[in-house]
């Protein structure tokens, strides 16, 4: 992923050293094996393949994640959800976490990356 | 229950943490245990559900399927099926296959007796299915003293079948007692041999365990030994069951709170809904999936569950500096030994429960209900303590 014009816009206006700004141009989608369950605080995301559960801890991040499928880039999703630019870094950090945990997948011509190994603790959803 | 909270996504106001939100309850459970039957071929002396005889009011196949449909609608992604011995039900495969093909993943616990080669092959062909084999001793003598003669051999045979059909990483689950706590490394070796994951959970004084808890639960010294072992092996699963040990210092992985009625609950074989798998007692019965409104109504509206989601008082633990770490411990453990719910956990690592337990010694404690033990079940003598 290259650092893009839009990333530079972000850099100049908000957080010049933000580690996730390279994500802005990425095209992402929710893994088809992930379900979102609405909750008062936002949503739960459950990956049926890895048995991993994550918390989307604000309604805005839920809206952005849902919007990614229909957007060509993260920037477009953030804009179409009317997320103010000063808040973008925290959204990008959240998106980076969701990529790392295999909830979000890059849309590209490259072969998809192997699903990340889940650790034992993450798989233990049980009482 | 352990969930991925290492990297919370999104943001909260500074005064509101994820744990606070969990305490206030979710729209549906994250972790739901469903005991499919009270029937069991074994008579483990610590059985949480006092299982043995089948209850004639057991949910029918179509009622069970309707429960799955409702769980799917509520987006309960995953159920823990147990019993009794769930594989005893003739429609066991029908229910499990229906769930796993309708977006409700299953993990089921079994003693392994009925897990033959054909069953193993059938399981290996299914998606979204996890299997947990219960063994309460790394050797036959220690296990069979608790679970009954021949139960160790049956569990090993089941694991051999799973290995032979390449099921993948199933789980080996043990309840820690004072007799097997010294075998934890042997358990790890056993799990490694089968490519299995080890899951270690806490003995609760519930069901028949209420009668045997005083003889079986780990000593204070053993609790410390267990805590150090778990801290050293974060890959061992615990189902978040040892959060009372977090009062030793560093928190164990997990939410470290009592999830009863908040993120956890139990559906029993007749459809009754209890706050957690460890409190099968009328006092913690919230309703039934057979009630008008079904499970969802019970989860959202029952008076019991709503009260469990209210902020709880630290009670007798208010002056202890460790309350934030241990949250006062396990509600079920307190209840069945006769303590008040805002007393310290009976296994409080600071020893704060000991004077209270001494004061109530000899007094009647709550009788677990319902009891499906077979009247003919012979109490098994405990083996010598391994020290």
- Tens of pLDDT along A9-59? 333 334 445 678 889 999 999 999 999 999 988 999 999 988 888 889 899
pLDDT at B378: 53
Contact (CB<8Å) A44/B26? yes
Tell me the chain B residues in contact with residue A116 when contact means C-beta distances shorter than 8 Å. none
Is B52 in a helix, a strand, or coil?
Answer: strand
Which of B3, B8, B237 lies at the smallest CB-CB distance from A120? B237
Residue of B nearest to A60 (CA): B10
Scan for tokens 């299995």, then name that residue: B196
**A76-to-A4, A57, A85, A106 alpha-carbon distances in Å:** 13, 21, 12, 15
- Residue A73 contacts B where some CB pair is shorter than 8 Å: no
Tokens of B177: 């007692």
Tokens of B231: 């801290």
Is B16 in a helix, a strand, or coil?
Answer: coil
pLDDT at A41: 87
Tell me the chain A residues in contact with residue B241 when contact means C-beta distances shorter than 8 Å. 127
Contact (CB<8Å) A124/B27? no
Indicate left, alpha or beta for B150 from its phi (over 0: left) and psi (-120 to 50: alpha): left
Phi, psi angles (nearest 5°) of residue B298? -60, -50
CA distance B169 to B172: 10
Residue of B nearest to A37 (CA): B75
Contact (CB<8Å) B4/A52? yes
pLDDT at A124: 41
Which of A94, A121, A122 lies at the smallest CB-CB distance from B9? A94
Contact (CB<8Å) A51/B237? no
pLDDT at B16: 58
CA distance B266 to B29: 10
Residue of A nearest to B241 (CA): A127
With b meaning 16 or more CB within 10 Å and e meaning fewer, what string describes B182-207? ebbeebbebbeebebbbbbbbbbbbb
pLDDT at B181: 98
Reported ipTM exceeds the 0.85 cut: no
For residues A65 and B14, the model is more confident at A65
**Model confidence, pTM:** 0.87
CA distance B230 to A46: 26
Over chain B (387 residues), the average pLDDT of each successive run of 10 is: 41 57 88 96 96 97 98 96 97 98 96 98 96 98 97 98 97 97 97 97 95 96 98 92 94 86 96 96 97 97 95 89 92 95 96 95 86 73 52
CA distance B84 to B82: 6
The answer to whether B360 and B219 are in contact (CB under 8 A) is no
pLDDT at A11: 34
Tell me the chain A residues in contact with residue B75 when contact means C-beta distances shorter than 8 Å. 35, 37, 44, 46
Which of B11, B26, B234 lies at the smallest CB-CB distance from A90? B11
What's the gap in Å between the CA of B239 and the closest CA on chain A?
A: 5
For residues B24 and A60, the model is more confident at A60
H/E element, A61: helix A59-68
**B179-to-A43, B349, B381 alpha-carbon distances in Å:** 43, 19, 13
CA distance B88 to B375: 19
- Residue A116 contacts B where some CB pair is shorter than 8 Å: no
Q: How many CB atoms neighbour CB B126 within 10 A?
A: 15
Is A52 in a helix, a strand, or coil?
Answer: strand
Which of A62, A94, A122 lies at the smallest CB-CB distance from B4? A122
Which of B9, B241, B276 lies at the smallest CB-CB distance from A97? B9
- Residue A66 contacts B where some CB pair is shorter than 8 Å: no
Scan for tokens 């219960």, then name that residue: B134
**B191-to-A32, B199, B200 alpha-carbon distances in Å:** 32, 10, 12
- What are the helix (H) ranges across chain B? 18-23, 61-73, 92-100, 117-124, 140-147, 151-164, 184-193, 209-216, 220-232, 294-301, 303-308, 323-326, 331-337, 354-360
CA distance A30 to B121: 32
Tell me the chain B residues in contact with residue A53 when contact means C-beta distances shorter than 8 Å. 3-4, 30, 77
Residue of A nearest to B169 (CA): A120
Which of B1, B75, B237 lies at the smallest CB-CB distance from A35? B75
Contact (CB<8Å) B28/A37? yes
Tell me the chain B residues in contact with residue A62 when contact means C-beta distances shorter than 8 Å. 10
Tokens of A78: 């953030």
CA distance B117 to B105: 22
Between strands B129-134 and B105-110, the pairing is parallel
The string of DSSP letters for B90-133 reads TTHHHHHHHHHTTT-EEEEEE-STT--HHHHHHHHT-SSEEEEE
pLDDT at B382: 59
pLDDT at A17: 53
Scan for tokens 């709550």, then name that residue: B366
Is B265 in a helix, a strand, or coil?
Answer: strand
Which of A38, A57, A125 lies at the smallest CB-CB distance from B9? A57
């Amino acid at each position: 992923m290259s650092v893009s014009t839009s990333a530079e816009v972000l850099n100049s206006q908000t957080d010049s050293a933000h580690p996730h700004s390279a994500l802005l141009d990425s095209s992402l989608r929710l893994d088809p094996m992930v379900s979102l369950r609405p909750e008062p605080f936002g949503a739960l995301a459950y990956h049926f393949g890895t048995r991993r559960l994550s918390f989307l801890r604000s309604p805005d991040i839920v809206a952005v994640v849902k919007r990614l499928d229909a957007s060509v880039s993260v920037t477009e999703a953030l804009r179409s959800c009317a997320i103010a630019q000063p808040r973008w870094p925290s959204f990008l950090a959240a998106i980076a976490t969701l990529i790392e945990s295999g909830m979000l997948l890059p849309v590209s011509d490259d072969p998809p990356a192997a699903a990340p190994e889940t650790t034992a603790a993450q798989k233990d959803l049980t009482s | 229950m352990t969930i991925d909270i290492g990297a919370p996504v999104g943001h909260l106001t500074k005064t509101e943490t994820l744990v606070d939100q969990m305490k206030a309850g979710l729209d549906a459970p994250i972790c739901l245990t469903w005991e499919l039957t009270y029937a069991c071929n074994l008579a483990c002396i610590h059985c949480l559900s006092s299982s043995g005889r089948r209850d004639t009011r057991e949910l029918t196949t179509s009622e069970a399927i309707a429960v799955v449909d409702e769980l799917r609608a509520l987006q309960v992604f995953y159920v823990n099926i147990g019993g009794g011995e769930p594989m005893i039900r003739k429609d066991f495969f029908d229910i499990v296959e229906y769930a796993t093909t309708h977006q409700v993943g299953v993990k089921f616990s079994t003693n392994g007796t009925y897990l033959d080669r054909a069953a193993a092959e059938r399981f290996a062909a299914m998606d979204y299915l996890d299997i947990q084999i219960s063994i309460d001793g790394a050797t036959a003598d220690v296990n069979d003293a608790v679970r009954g003669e021949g139960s160790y051999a049956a569990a090993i045979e089941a694991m051999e079948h799973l290995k032979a059909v390449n099921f993948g990483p199933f789980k080996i689950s043990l309840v820690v007692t004072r007799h097997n706590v010294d075998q934890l490394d042997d358990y790890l070796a056993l799990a490694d041999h089968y490519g299995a994951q080890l899951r270690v959970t806490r003995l609760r004084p519930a069901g028949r365990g209420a009668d045997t808890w005083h003889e079986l639960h780990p000593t204070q010294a053993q609790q410390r030994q267990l805590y150090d072992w778990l801290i050293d092996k974060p890959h061992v699963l615990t189902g978040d069951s040892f959060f009372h040990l977090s009062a030793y210092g560093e928190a164990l992985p997990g939410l470290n709170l009592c999830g009863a009625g908040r993120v956890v609950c139990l559906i029993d074989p007749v459809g009754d809904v209890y706050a957690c798998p460890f409190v099968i007692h009328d006092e913690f019965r919230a309703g039934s999936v057979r009630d008008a409104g079904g499970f969802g109504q019970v989860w959202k509206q029952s008076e019991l569950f709503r009260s469990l989601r209210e902020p709880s008082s630290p009670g007798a633990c208010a002056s202890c500096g460790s309350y934030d770490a241990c949250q006062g411990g396990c509600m079920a453990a307190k209840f069945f030994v006769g303590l008040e719910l805002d007393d310290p956990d009976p296994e409080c690592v600071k020893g704060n429960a000991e004077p209270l337990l001494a004061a109530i010694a000899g007094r009647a404690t709550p009788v677990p209900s319902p009891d499906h033990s077979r009247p003919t079940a012979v109490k098994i003598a405990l083996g010598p303590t391994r020290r």
